[in-house]
Amino acid sequence: MMTSKNSSPALLCPLCKKPRHHEFRPFCSARCKQIDLNRWFSEIYSVPVQEEQNPTESQEEEIS
């Protein structure tokens, strides 16, 4: 049984789900690429960050 490469979800645009275009990968067009970039700039997307306590501060607190 042969499967079409276009039917794979990995080959679809993450925004509009149309087949992606090599020039704009992983997106299908310049428009989707710009929409995604705007979402990052607008902070709609973000990378979670865990702030670590400074080791020197925790040692000072234990000494006091």
Question: What pLDDT, in 10s, does the model give residues 14-56?
Answer: 999 999 999 999 999 999 999 999 999 999 988 888 887 776 6
For 37-49, b where at least 16 C-beta lie within 10 A, e where not — what string? eeeeeeeeeeeee
Residue 12 pairs with which residues in a beta bridge? 19
Which distant-in-sequence residues (6+ apart) come within 8 Å of 15 by Cβ?
27, 32, 35, 36
Residue-level pLDDT at 61:
60
Residue 29 inside a domain? The answer is yes
Query: What pTM value is reported for the model?
Result: 0.57
Asked if the structure places residue 27 within a domain, the reply is: yes
What is the amino acid identity at position 62? Answer: E
Domain that holds residue 26: 11-44
Structural domain contains residue 4? no
How many domains does the chain contain in total? 1
